Amino acid sequence: MKVFLCPNRTDLARLTATLLAEQISRKPNSVLGLATGRTMEAVYAHLVQRHREDGLDFSGCTTFNLDEYVGLPATDARSYHAYMHTHLFQHVGIAPDRTHLPNGMAADLAAEGQRYDAAIKAAGGIDLQLLGLGENGHIGFNEPLSSLASRTRPVVLAPETRLQNAGLFDGKPESVPPLALTMGTGTILESRRIVLTVAGKAKAEMLRAVLEGPVTAQISASALHFHTNCLVLADEDAASALTIRPALDHALKHDPELRALHTLLT
């Protein structure tokens, strides 16, 4: 795992978008794993800008999102289908049949999870998976105690997740659906490359636990230590509780990959 710190949230979003844009330019038929949440809104805004201004071409890409609420149809503005349409898909000319999210309206949710994993496999696997971090350490909606080998499946959302996401509903945690479908931690770990993007003070203690604590099923993101090509990008607020800061600064001086990221920022 490599860690790169950005001075602020704006640079963090810009750098995350640059890494996705580079992936698409290098391999126009990339399979991208996409995430939702407030952190990603600015990332998608940068990608839309690059599509408009630099002709970044999404038409050959295939996308798979991490998760979706159970019981919200794609037409519901609070669904992740709607989020992706609003923030990215409608702006970048990607054919709807190339974009995939789990179907939270499926009659058989377990079967929908298996179908989703099979579809990822049939597409050749995910080249680059974008991840955000939940305040309880989840990736996707892999809540505490999710198996680190889990597959795409229905899950019960933790109370703190419903609280964290209440703002995207009517402010009340009980308005957030109790169930979701999520790519499993095991599914996520099969991606060829992973970028975890973390912003804000509210994530600082959890980022410290992820980077400096043990690998544990209580914190799904800690499983990323098992991945051989995982980059963690964080802003200064999210990095404010790290005690390994001197080691990170040392790595930044000497690691060619991290130095290259630094030049992308300037």
Ligand X SMILES: N[C@@H]1[C@@H](O)[C@H](O)[C@@H](COP(=O)(O)O)O[C@@H]1O
**Binding flags for ligand X, 3-42, as an x/- string (CB under 6 A):** --------------------------------xxxxx---
Q: How far is the CB of 102 from ligand X (least distance, A)?
A: 11
HEC profile of 175-243: HCCCEEEECCHHHHHCCCEEEEEECCHHHHHHHHHHHHCCCECCEHHHHHHHCCCEEEEEECCCCCCCC
259 binds ligand X (CB under 6 A): no
Please say if 67 is a catalytic residue: yes
Which residue, 101, 93, 134, 81, is CA-closest to 32?
101
How many Å apart are CA 1 and CA 51, to the nearest integer? 30
Question: Which residues on neighbouring strands pair with residue 195, listed in sequence order?
Answer: 130, 231
87 flagged as catalytic: no
What is the contact mask toward ligand X in residues 118 to 157, using x (rule: CB under 6 A)? --------------xxx-----xx----------------
Can you tell me the distance from the alpha carbon of 78 to that of 162, in angstroms, rounded to the nearest whole number? 13
Length of the chain as a residue count:
266
Binding flags for ligand X, 158-197, as an x/- string (CB under 6 A): ---x---x--------------------------------
Residue among 201 and 259 whose Cβ is closer to ligand X: 201
Catalytic: 212?
no
Residues in contact with ligand X by the rule CB under 6 A: 35-39, 66-67, 132-134, 140-141, 161, 165
